[in-house]
Amino acid sequence: MPTYKAPLRDIRFVMDEMLDFPAHYSQLPNGDEASPEIINAILEEGAKFAEEVLTPLNQSGDTQGCQHNDGEVTTPEGFKEAYQQFVEGGWPSMTQDTTYGGQGLPQSLGMVLNEMICSSNLSWGMYPGLSHGAMDALQHHGTEEQKQTYLTKMVEGSWTGTMCLTEPHCGTDLGLIRTKAEPQADGSFSVSGTKIFISAGEHDMSDNIVHLVLAKLPDAPEGSKGISLFIVPKFTPDANGEPGERNGVQCGSIEHKMGIHGNSTCVMNFDEAKGYIIGEPNKGLSYMFVMMNAARIGVGIQGLGLTEVAYQNSLAYTRDRLQMRSLNGPKAPEKPADPIIVHPDVRRMLLTQKAFAEGGRALIYYTAQLIDQVSAGGEEAKDADDLLGLLTPIVKAFLTEAGFESTNQGLQCFGGHGFIHEWGMEQFVRDARITLLYEGTTGIQALDLLGRKILMNQGESLRKFTKQVHKFCQAEEGNEELAALIAPLAKANKEWGDITMQIGMKAMQNRDEVGAASVDYLMYSGYVTLGYFWAKAAKVAQEALAAGTTEEAFYKGKLATAQFYFSKLFPRTQTLAATIAQGGDSLMAMEEDQFGAGFEI
Amino acid sequence: MPTYKAPLRDIRFVMDEMLDFPAHYSQLPNGDEASPEIINAILEEGAKFAEEVLTPLNQSGDTQGCQHNDGEVTTPEGFKEAYQQFVEGGWPSMTQDTTYGGQGLPQSLGMVLNEMICSSNLSWGMYPGLSHGAMDALQHHGTEEQKQTYLTKMVEGSWTGTMCLTEPHCGTDLGLIRTKAEPQADGSFSVSGTKIFISAGEHDMSDNIVHLVLAKLPDAPEGSKGISLFIVPKFTPDANGEPGERNGVQCGSIEHKMGIHGNSTCVMNFDEAKGYIIGEPNKGLSYMFVMMNAARIGVGIQGLGLTEVAYQNSLAYTRDRLQMRSLNGPKAPEKPADPIIVHPDVRRMLLTQKAFAEGGRALIYYTAQLIDQVSAGGEEAKDADDLLGLLTPIVKAFLTEAGFESTNQGLQCFGGHGFIHEWGMEQFVRDARITLLYEGTTGIQALDLLGRKILMNQGESLRKFTKQVHKFCQAEEGNEELAALIAPLAKANKEWGDITMQIGMKAMQNRDEVGAASVDYLMYSGYVTLGYFWAKAAKVAQEALAAGTTEEAFYKGKLATAQFYFSKLFPRTQTLAATIAQGGDSLMAMEEDQFGAGFEI
């Protein structure tokens, strides 16, 4: 069975040494709450909860899966108890508004915790994760009464939430939804329709489930401009605010999936269910985007979490497994064969995971600071929001693609044993596979990045980021030891802007050029972004080593991983730049009847 | 549920138009047997069997899996009956020696059939597939009596075979095996030990199972030079050659796996089982390589088969699924949204699969001709054998990596639905995942290619292939329409040799440089090799169009796919060349204690 140890040393490296979280917190209105003692307690207790409570339930949760029986869903053994412990530990309230029972800590701390949860038990983590998204939407757009009724219960953890968007015939294209909301005399709405892929839609872990549902009012405009957002509780609250009457929303079935078996993915049938509108009519999609952006970052964290745990387990295996000799002669002559970590290609697979995990962590934590800054409002909020908008699709798509590659590399380190369930590596791959799909596929993220976040504002957000990279590269120009990192980073950072311009020019003639370039462009952006964080990490490690340290292994390993990243992963930008330059002609030239001509006789 | 239609038009394109199989067969001693009528019957009947018998059992086989009960294994519903039909159709004997009941047809025809089987039901295909490998080994190295006793039954299909190599502590490194064979007074051997990962090790489809087992004689030299090969039948044949006494070999358990659930992957316990030595003592590993090389090509065909079926199903879905509008304005204004095949990135995913499927098919069929030539012996056999040796690791590793990428792209075309079992796409991904592992991982194939097949013979085999590519490029130099294909192919083909030289030079100083470059080198080789076949395909299509044809969609689609391959996939050689040039320093610099310093506090 796989194991997990929270990477606290590396987490502290990113927080304290790379991104100066103490200084960051000192700038926030609620920063005082994030005292060193509190941070320490969160890291230590969070690690303990992830390692000791969640990790042991991960494989059994996968094997057992969820059971659906006539509308009721039973989660795997231990899931419910773990959730109770989570609630008792006060975790759901950690970053919530103190007005509604929260502890008011910065969002960033929740994301640190979330990484550990995703590493240890992705399926379990989705129950509180979805709740978190629903709380965000209520916090931002709910009425005071709605907040008092629903949010306080969710903050406390006794009620959980969902996001109900997708329908059988539409996922990406929410303008097509058919779920209807009819106004009632009492000001409520009668909601009817079918939603699919509803994570945590029904389960046995909380007293009530608060569904946030996209639906159309009778007089709504066509398409995405006619969508409203509703609260549809499983039990409508009674006069005391406790779960009252059973509402007309029912789990029809749960999906049989490739992975995340421990999470219930439900078909939810709304049959004249009582609903309450959130905010104004027809603005539901923009409200839902509050949840969706947070959820996208959350999925990026899932990619990171799985990368980390795959790395840890493949590292352990490759140190242990004896097979063949080093090509340069025996490294462990006393043993019947060398541990396979001596082989260069095994190291390539390990270092790929390590580079994505640690680089991804720095990127996520940087994003976390931006989220804190946006929440805080004030002067820096606009810039932070632009950067956050830019980085969100990169975090979501790049770190999940990296996570899928990493979990596969981790599995591959095990040879044939990687394919066997008991070793646990194949579960990481199956669990990772969903992260490229939900909350917008890689392709959708790529369109969001290139189309909406970059071309639509003439590259303004991009320039804010590339300027930062440029300044860093300029400052380190004379840094001989890091020249193999800084030089290619500076070059690609400049090229990033050039490529953007080229696509922009082509797109003025033909908008398909945006779609044709988009995924390669997103991946290019990801490699450069991670390159920036790796170069920064290398500089910090270099300084620590120069200053003298008792942790040579840590800092030297950091430097060596940075060198690896620029030597073996960063050059992927070359192919991406080349395929982007090729444009979209070779994609669009095929006529539809030509696709199947080899087998449709 | 996924569907499958044998790509007969494309198969005929490769056989008749690209690789001139009629001429090829006319050169073979058994080529007369492969008459146009016979080939046609094999294609038509094979397609029918794959489409109508095997395809409907693929998903149910995955869901049901195999059941193990006290040494007995029950295969999924319908598997046994399908195998009976297969036997009744005479398929197991198709390419076997007429002396032992075979039909004596060229091996290549078996490979064509095999592609269809792998597309329709990979798990099922492994039962006859393993048998085929065992037949090869017996044919080459068995005594006449062994052939009469075992081979005739396997040719007929009433008995099946296995390969028993792996043990819990060794897979790649077979020198470490512990299974023992003690000589007995009657000339037989008593075989004891445990083998794992034995595909088709126990099942209910045949009357007897003939295990070919690697084991060590008591006085055997250390390591891989002390391994012998034994026949260990499940039932020892009685005086009439029928299954007699139950032998001391037992299935201990079956593995819980990520995929290929319909195939029984067994732990086989040999407890003083009666065995019969094949060939000479201590030469078992070289005999096993006969099976292993054929098996490696077979796994490459699995990669191809899964690519094809993933492509067909994702194509159907993307034509059907309505979501969003084309960025250039509605393509199907009468519908609520456009079919997603209008989107450039969806086309990228489709064309990636198509390019790997059709390019991979040409490569496999070319390899099939080499196999025929090697079997035929004579003048051309040496060159064919060299080329076959060179291409075997490429076929195995590159086409399975391509298959894993393709099945994942196919899944991705379905969005969230791709993750759901019922659509069948996630099964293709899970089934494909094993192909990167068994019969030697990608890393092992890469070492075989670069170390054994290229550097050890000073690049002689490689030059035989690159010369062929060079001649083709030279002949097409003035072909304006194909300039975007020929120019980069010619350049990369030359660079292939240069890169090989560079690695060879570095390796003289440090043998780890071979391992460091190996996987990138193999993938580079794969892209160039497929590039050659795509350029050839384009030329054939160009000529057909010039000559006038009623099949414009087919040939234009072929040309367009070739353009796509060189525009979007071939440029991956650029990154691979760059990472190879970086050498192994960044892999080997990490000290072992540095790997885990981020979480091992």
In this structure, the number of other CB atoms found within 10 A of the CB of residue B481 comes to: 15
Q: At which residue do the structure tokens 């071309």 appear? A: A455
Taking the CA of residue A272 and the nearest CA in chain B, the distance in Å comes to 26
> In this complex, which of A8, A575, A596 lies closest to B575 when CB atoms are compared?
A575
Count CA atoms closer than 13 A to A492's CA, side-chain side. 27
What 8-state DSSP symbol labels residue B220?
Answer: P
Q: Does the CB of B332 have a partner CB in chain A at under 8 Å?
A: no
Q: Looking at residue B477, what is its pLDDT?
A: 95
Q: Give me the phi and psi of B196, to 5 degrees please.
A: -125, 165
Taking the CA of residue A500 and the nearest CA in chain B, the distance in Å comes to 17
| Cβ pair A572:B568 closer than 8 A | no
Count CA atoms closer than 13 A to B373's CA, side-chain side. 21
> In this complex, which of B176, B412, B597 lies closest to A554 when CB atoms are compared?
B597
- Segment B297-334, tens digit of pLDDT: 999 999 999 999 999 999 999 999 999 999 999 999 99
Segment B134-158 shows an average pLDDT of 97
Whether residue B366 has pLDDT greater than 80: yes
The answer to whether A153 and A241 have CB atoms below 8 angstroms apart is yes
Beta bridge mates, B72: B69
Chain B residue at shortest CA distance from A510: B328
What is the DSSP track for A100-144? GT-----HHHHHHHHHHHHHH-HHHHHHHHHHHHHHHHHHHH--H
Query: Residue A7 — pLDDT band, cuts 50, 70, 90?
Result: very high
| Cβ pair B557:A591 closer than 8 A | yes
- Alpha-carbon span A31 to A105, nearest angstrom: 7
Q: How far apart are the first and last CA of chain A?
A: 50
Q: Which residues contact B353 (CB under 8 A, 6 or more apart)?
A: B307, B310, B311, B314, B406, B409, B410
Whether residue B394 has pLDDT greater than 90: yes
| Cβ pair B571:A575 closer than 8 A | yes
Q: Looking at residue A29, what is its pLDDT?
A: 94
- Alpha-carbon span B306 to B513, nearest angstrom: 33
Q: Looking at residue A64, what is its pLDDT?
A: 98
| Cβ pair B415:A600 closer than 8 A | no
Q: Which residues contact A324 (CB under 8 A, 6 or more apart)?
A: A337, A338, A340, A343, B172, B173
- Alpha-carbon span B114 to B122, nearest angstrom: 10
Query: Residue B379 — pLDDT band, cuts 50, 70, 90?
Result: confident
Q: At which residue do the structure tokens 């978190």 appear? A: A132
Q: Looking at residue A378, what is its pLDDT?
A: 86
Indicate the average pLDDT of chain A: 97
CB within 8 Å of chain B, chain A residues 116-135: none
| Kind and range of the H or E run holding B161 | strand B159-164
Q: Give me the phi and psi of B152, to 5 degrees please.
A: -55, -40
Segment B442-466 shows an average pLDDT of 97
| Kind and range of the H or E run holding B160 | strand B159-164
Catalytic residue among B401, B405, B426, B439: B439
Higher confidence at residue A172 or residue A471?
A471
Q: Looking at residue B293, what is its pLDDT?
A: 87
Q: Looking at residue B309, what is its pLDDT?
A: 98
Q: Give me the phi and psi of A69, to 5 degrees please.
A: -145, 105
Segment A494-513 shows an average pLDDT of 97
- Alpha-carbon span B161 to B156, nearest angstrom: 12
In the structure encoding, which two tokens stand for residue B596, read together?
């885990």
3-state secondary structure of A335: coil
Q: Which of B397, B394, B214, B402 is CA-nearest to residue B291?
A: B214
pTM over 0.90: yes
Q: Looking at residue A351, what is its pLDDT?
A: 98
The answer to whether A203 and A192 have CB atoms below 8 angstroms apart is no
- Segment B45-94, tens digit of pLDDT: 999 999 999 999 999 999 999 999 999 999 999 999 999 999 999 999 99
| Kind and range of the H or E run holding B267 | strand B265-278
- Alpha-carbon span B66 to B75, nearest angstrom: 5
3-state secondary structure of A511: coil
| Cβ pair A557:B412 closer than 8 A | no
- Segment A320-356, tens digit of pLDDT: 999 999 999 999 999 999 999 999 999 999 999 999 9
Q: Which of A437, A439, A596, A449 is CA-nearest to residue A515?
A: A449
Taking the CA of residue B299 and the nearest CA in chain A, the distance in Å comes to 14
CB within 8 Å of chain B, chain A residues 394-423: 404, 408, 411-412, 415-416, 418-422
- Alpha-carbon span B331 to B339, nearest angstrom: 8
Query: Residue A293 — pLDDT band, cuts 50, 70, 90?
Result: confident
Q: At which residue do the structure tokens 């796994």 appear? A: B299
Q: Looking at residue B76, what is its pLDDT?
A: 98
Q: At which residue do the structure tokens 């996939």 appear? A: B569
Q: How much of chain A, in percent, has pLDDT values that exceed 90?
A: 98
| Kind and range of the H or E run holding B446 | helix B442-447
Q: Does the CB of A586 have a partner CB in chain B at under 8 Å?
A: yes
- Segment A546-580, tens digit of pLDDT: 999 999 999 999 999 999 999 999 999 999 999 99
Whether residue B290 has pLDDT greater than 80: no
Task: Report H helices in A482-599.
Answer: 483-509, 512-547, 552-564, 572-581, 585-588, 592-595
Segment B99-119 shows an average pLDDT of 97
Taking the CA of residue B309 and the nearest CA in chain A, the distance in Å comes to 10
Beta bridge mates, B193: B270
- Alpha-carbon span A295 to A434, nearest angstrom: 14
Q: Which of A351, A347, A28, A567 is CA-nearest to residue B579?
A: A567
Q: Which of A162, A119, A154, A141 is CA-nearest to residue A432?
A: A119
Segment A121-139 shows an average pLDDT of 95
Q: Which residues contact B105 (CB under 8 A, 6 or more apart)?
A: B30, B33, B34, B38, B42, B94, B95
Indicate the average pLDDT of chain B: 97
Whether residue A316 has pLDDT greater than 80: yes
Q: Looking at residue A256, what is its pLDDT?
A: 97
- Alpha-carbon span A429 to A436, nearest angstrom: 12
Segment B222-242 shows an average pLDDT of 97
Q: Looking at residue A379, what is its pLDDT?
A: 84
Segment A192-207 shows an average pLDDT of 98
Chain B residue at shortest CA distance from A6: B599
- The number of helices, as runs of H, and strands, as runs of E, in chain A is 22, 11
Mutate to test the interface with A, among B120, B347, B482 (most CBs of A within 10 A): B347
- Alpha-carbon span B409 to B319, nearest angstrom: 15
- Alpha-carbon span B255 to B251, nearest angstrom: 11
Query: Residue A601 — pLDDT band, cuts 50, 70, 90?
Result: confident
Q: Looking at residue B365, what is its pLDDT?
A: 98
Domain-wise residue ranges, chain A: 459-586
Q: Looking at residue A103, what is its pLDDT?
A: 97
Whether residue A290 has pLDDT greater than 80: no
Residues in chain B closer than 8 A to A429 (CB atoms): 258, 433
Q: Looking at residue B289, what is its pLDDT?
A: 84
Q: Looking at residue B601, what is its pLDDT?
A: 73
Segment A288-314 shows an average pLDDT of 94
> In this complex, which of A446, A561, A571 lies closest to B575 when CB atoms are compared?
A571
